[in-house]
Structure 1
Amino acid sequence: MRKPLLVTDFLDRARRHYADEEAVLATDGTRYTYGELGERADRFSAALQARGVEKGDRVAVLDPNTHYHLEAAYGTMGIGAIHTPLNYRLTPDDFSYMLSDAGVDAIYADAEYAGKVQAVREDVPTTTFLTDDPSAVDGDWESIEDALADADPNGVERPEMEEDDVITINYTSGTTGDPKGVCRTHRAETLHAYLITIHQEITDDDVYLWTLPMFHVNGWGHIYAITGMGARHVCTRGVDVDEVFERIRGEDVSYFCAAPTVLNMLGDHYDEHGGATAGDNDVRVATAGAAPPEATIRTVEETFGWDLKHVYGATETGPLVTTSDAKRHFDADADGRFAVKKTQGIGYLGTDVRVVDEDGADVPADGETIGEIVVRGNQVMDRYWNKPDATEEAFSERLDGYYHMGDLAVVDGNGFVSIQDRKKDIIISGGENISSIELEDTLFEHDVVSDVAVIPVPDDQWGETPKAFVVPESGDPNDAGATEEELREFVRERVATYKTPGEVEFVSALPTTATGKIQKYELREREWDEEDRMVGEG
């Protein structure tokens, strides 16, 4: 028997079985049941249809992690329109490009960020502008609450939908060139949600804290999985470490997601303020974006008492395709688990993850030979929106039919993948390959280092050499607690001499994406500004 896989099934199931149970704690303290969330989503659907939005039309959502985002997502998808979430940290020019590229027909924007859309309003095709507080936004914006109140939740006409219909477009972070719209189908979103439900061990009594942006690949699929399982959503407007600990304790949070940078922020806050790190529930936390240093894992598991799950993926892959949470491969109480947990790990169920050389052949499983990670799975994107050439390249550069992750890695005898670098970030100095991750992990071991990024910089002798940008624990680049030479000597004593950074620069902060991923390209652009190209003759 074949039943179409549709994302509308997730909220439908929650309404059917958990209608009277709490679904959402909103940022203003309002609590909604699944019955109430479902009705508000229906009203959003009806409001869109009243404004001419039809199946296949794109509806943008510019919103932090509020209940409005959940309602807009399900309200959009409930009529077969395409949910198009946007990164609220971007600029008006970014929004002009994305809204025009997607041909968006309507937008809901949180009042705090709606001004960025208003600034380019005349340049975009959007005709319907909705916000939570029109009085706080210049221009003609409709009140979403008024629109919901006027809508008939029983008048929604749900069209016929197929599992291969595109239902979301998620824009990449745009670290190189214009952002690309990643097209994902009902089938891809559904199967990815099933996978994270299994691998992240999501159940109906979970309490999920929204620290990960909902716009980021639909919150890594958690807008579906948490909803479909009938678990609780605890909303936030961003990462505030005081609020994170307060919500974990006060709402008995059992699960959330955080980049290593956020975990380090939580560790710093705990060192300064202490306090309980859990409520009545045990806590597990998923991290991705970069391999967490061993010191970070130790803090999370030994100091906080949480279970850390290191996962890996990309916007184009759902995002999640691997996990290092493979308990039969490590002793839960032994230090040896850290070496396993900091790897990207093994493929999710039904996911084919390989590391291949330039000819598309699998590299030896020796933990040493570097190749590129390629992935094939049901959670991988359908295509890039209006970019057939980029789509073709992404699926065929080394190995046809696999999405090419752009990450260079090794694989060991058990199939565990460990990223060594991004292709564009590999440092080739005097003909020798240097892993920036190895240098970052080494520097993280020094007591004065709070955060660090290592990139290649031009060098007359070696073509390029490593440079480290270090955020000191003090937060003050002028009072770092150590000198540049002391850190270079610290590294020199722990790695091959040729890998030692030629320069260390203390900074107050590193450029990051909304999910905490360090934007190395911004650092590279600064360092290579006077060069013809951003690669050395190593």
Structure 2
Amino acid sequence: MYVDQTTLDYLDRAETLYDDLVGVIADDGTEYTYGEFAERVHRLSNALTELGVEEGDRVALLSPNTHYFLETIYATNQLGVVNVPMNYRLTPEDYEYILNDADATAVIADYELAERVEEVRDEVPTEHFVGYEADGIEGDWLDYETLLDDASAERPDRPDIAEGDDATVNYTSGTTGDPKGVVRTHRTEHWHALVLSHHMEIQEDDTYLWTLPMFHCNGWGHVYAITGTGGTHVCQREFDAAGTLERIRTYDVSYMCGAPTVLNRLIDYYESNDVGATTGDRDLRITTAGSAPPRATIRTIEDAFGWRLIQIYGLTETAPIITTSNSPRRLADGDPTTIKTKQGHAALNTEIRVVDEDGRDVPRDDETVGEIVVRGNQVMDRYLNKPDITHEAFNDRASGFFHTGDLATMDENGMIAIQDRKKDIIISGGENISSIDVEDTLFDHPDIAKAAVIPVPSDEWGETPKALVVQKDDAALTEDDVVAFARENMATYKAPTSVEFVESLPETATGKVQKYQLRQEYWEDEERMVGQG
């Protein structure tokens, strides 16, 4: 029997089975049962219809981690309207670009963020501007709660939504240039949540703490997965370590996600304060993604905090889980810390390959580097308004596979370990240097809080590694200290040849260092952003 798979399956299951159970806890502690949550979703859908928003339109969303965000995702989807979650760390110019690229009919924005949209209001095609707590927004904005109060609580008549219909457009985080609109259908989002639920072991009694930005790939799929399984969403508007630990104890949190930046901030707070308990009554597991955390970070999270860390890997285009280190049978075969520095094996119903320039699989020797390519039901449909880039993304080396742009090795067990972005491999005097290897070594220095390694021009070597380092408070490192530490702990040719101490590193909301920004400063006088070694 064939049944269309849509994102609404998750809302409908929660409303039917868990209507009397607390499903969402707002940042201020207000609790909503899933029945109450669904009613608010229906009110928003009806309000949008009254404004004239129609099936196929796009509604942009700009919000921190709030119950409003969760409501808006479902309210748009059940109307056949496409939601466009936007990164809340962008500039007004970025929002102008996105709103025009997406041709957004409406914007729903948080009171702390709306002014950035207001600045470009006259430059975008958007007709309706809705604000959470609109009284605090300069300009002509409709108030979110007033719209809900005036709207019907009955579930609206839904159009015939097919699984191949667009559900959401998530813009890339911009680590390699201008963001691209990643179009995800109801089918890709549905599969995304199913795969996530299995590998992250999500159960109906889970209490999930939102420290991961909801806008990012719809919160890595947890917007749907937690709802459909009947778990409880605990919202935290903005991450701060003290608030996170307090919520963990107060709500007996059993599951959360944290980008590497979140892990580092939690550890810094833990080491500087008398924290007390790091869990409630239940065990806690935490998922991280992006570059694998350094071994020292993994040890602290698991040994000192007592949390179980799960590493996953993916991109906005793959929404994002396509591999996971959560493989107990493999963990039994080796050192758990070492294995968790890898991105892991392919997720269910996902085909992962690591291929060379000619599209051939590299040897499974954990040494030969190739590009990760993937196909699966959770992979995006297309880039919005970019057919040529879409075609290239699916056909560059291996036809029919999405090309991630990440370079990795694969071991005999099929576990991948990312070595670098294609653009971040440093080729110095003919030797390939993985910036991740260098960064991992630097993270082991007790006085280094963060580090990014980039290639810079070199007359002798073409390009050479440079480290940009954020010191821990009260540290007094010198360039010689850092270089000497690196040379003592890794192959000397990989060690940075120069070091710059900085206050912070440019990062996306998901903790990825925007290396292209760092590189630009050093390559602006060069014809190409690659060395000719």
- How far did 1:178 drift? 2.5
Q: Name the SS for the 2:205 alignment partner.
A: coil
Answer whether contact 1:213 1:219 (CA < 8 A) is retained.
yes
The yes-or-no answer on 1:383 pairing with 2:382 is: yes
- How far did 1:487 drift? 1.6
What is the aligned partner in structure 2 of residue 359 from structure 1?
A: 358
- How far did 1:392 drift? 0.4
Larger displacement relative to structure 2 (18-27 or 482-491): 482-491
Whole-angstrom distance in 2 between the partners of 1:410 and 1:67: 40
Whole-angstrom distance in 2 between the partners of 1:450 and 1:245: 20
Q: Name the SS for the 2:339 alignment partner.
A: helix
Q: Name the SS for the 2:101 alignment partner.
A: helix
Whole-angstrom distance in 2 between the partners of 1:446 and 1:134: 47
What is the aligned partner in structure 2 of residue 442 from structure 1?
A: 441
The yes-or-no answer on 1:504 pairing with 2:499 is: yes
Deviation by residue 1:482-512 (Cα, 9 ceiling, x = unmatched): 3211221111122222111111112121111
Q: Name the SS for the 2:60 alignment partner.
A: strand
1:527 to 522, 526, 533: 522
Q: How does 1:46-445 map to 2 (within 5 A)?
A: 46-154=46-154, 156-273=156-273, 274-331=275-332, 336-445=335-444
Q: Name the SS for the 2:112 alignment partner.
A: helix
Deviation by residue 1:153-176 (Cα, 9 ceiling, x = unmatched): 226221111011111100112233
Whole-angstrom distance in 2 between the partners of 1:155 and 1:494: 62
Whole-angstrom distance in 2 between the partners of 1:527 and 1:356: 31
Which amino acid in 2 is paired with 1:506? F
Deviation by residue 1:316-359 (Cα, 9 ceiling, x = unmatched): 00111000111111249x8x111101101100000001100000
Whole-angstrom distance in 2 between the partners of 1:224 and 1:348: 18
Deviation by residue 1:118-160 (Cα, 9 ceiling, x = unmatched): 1000111111111112221111100111111111122622111
Whole-angstrom distance in 2 between the partners of 1:292 and 1:154: 47
Cα pair distance change 1:434/1:387, threshold 3 Å? same
Which amino acid in 1 is paired with 2:488? E
Larger displacement relative to structure 2 (509-518 or 194-203): 509-518
Whole-angstrom distance in 1 between the partners of 2:83 and 2:207: 25
- How far did 1:387 drift? 0.6
Answer whether contact 2:175 2:512 (CA < 8 A) is retained.
no
Deviation by residue 1:364-388 (Cα, 9 ceiling, x = unmatched): 0011111000000000000011110
Whole-angstrom distance in 2 between the partners of 1:240 and 1:152: 37
Answer whether contact 1:259 1:290 (CA < 8 A) is retained.
no
Deviation by residue 1:233-276 (Cα, 9 ceiling, x = unmatched): 00011211110100011110111111112101101100111321
- How far did 1:68 drift? 0.5
Which amino acid in 1 is paired with 2:143? S
Deviation by residue 1:60-93 (Cα, 9 ceiling, x = unmatched): 1100110100111111001110011011110111
Q: Name the SS for the 1:154 alignment partner.
A: coil
Whole-angstrom distance in 1 between the partners of 2:231 and 2:379: 25
What is the aligned partner in structure 2 of residue 491 from structure 1?
A: 486
Aligned-pair RMSD on alpha carbons?
Answer: 1.1
Whole-angstrom distance in 1 between the partners of 2:90 and 2:65: 16
Which amino acid in 2 is paired with 1:209? L
Deviation by residue 1:412-437 (Cα, 9 ceiling, x = unmatched): 11111011111000000001101111
Answer whether contact 2:177 2:516 (CA < 8 A) is retained.
no
Whole-angstrom distance in 1 between the partners of 2:179 and 2:499: 31
Whole-angstrom distance in 2 between the partners of 1:215 and 1:138: 24
Which amino acid in 1 is paired with 2:292? A
The answer for unaligned runs of 5 or more in structure 1 is none
- How far did 1:177 drift? 3.5
Whole-angstrom distance in 2 between the partners of 1:343 and 1:114: 39
Answer whether contact 1:209 1:255 (CA < 8 A) is retained.
yes
What is the aligned partner in structure 2 of residue 514 from structure 1?
A: 509
Q: Name the SS for the 1:278 alignment partner.
A: coil
Whole-angstrom distance in 1 between the partners of 2:30 and 2:82: 28
Whole-angstrom distance in 2 between the partners of 1:155 and 1:375: 38
Q: How many residues align?
A: 532
Whole-angstrom distance in 2 between the partners of 1:498 and 1:528: 21
Answer whether contact 1:450 1:472 (CA < 8 A) is retained.
yes
Larger displacement relative to structure 2 (363-372 or 148-157): 148-157
Q: Name the SS for the 1:311 alignment partner.
A: strand
Q: Name the SS for the 1:389 alignment partner.
A: helix
Which amino acid in 1 is paired with 2:32? Y
The answer for unaligned runs of 5 or more in structure 2 is none
What is the aligned partner in structure 2 of residue 459 from structure 1?
A: 458
Which amino acid in 2 is paired with 1:81? V
Answer whether contact 1:480 1:506 (CA < 8 A) is retained.
no
Whole-angstrom distance in 2 between the partners of 1:34 and 1:501: 53
